[in-house]
Amino acid sequence: MKILLYVGLLLVALGIASLVVPIPHTDTEGIKVGNTNLGVQTSHSERVSPVVSVVLIAGGIALSMAGARSRN
């Protein structure tokens, strides 16, 4: 089916992007006393585990192959 091919290609692209692009994450910690807020906001970027990226790429390749075979 054509949809498997497209979903597979999308998964491969997401897997490759997850290896390169970090995901930003912001944490806010603090206390509130009356109408006053006292806090610290930290922000950092994390990459997805390489295992997750490999699973996305492998699953995308498998779906793409299944989609290409069903078209023939």
pTM of the complete model? 0.69
Using H for helix, E for strand and C for coil, what is the string for the chain? CHHHHHHHHHHHHHHHHHHHCCEEEEEEEEEEECCEEEEEEEEEEECCCHHHHHHHHHHHHHHHHHHHHHHC
At residue 5, the pLDDT reads 86
At residue 55, the pLDDT reads 94
Q: Going residue by residue through the chain, which has 72 residues, state the pLDDT in tens, using 9 for 90 and above.
A: 688 888 999 999 999 999 999 989 898 888 888 888 888 989 999 888 899 999 999 999 999 888 888 755
At residue 59, the pLDDT reads 92
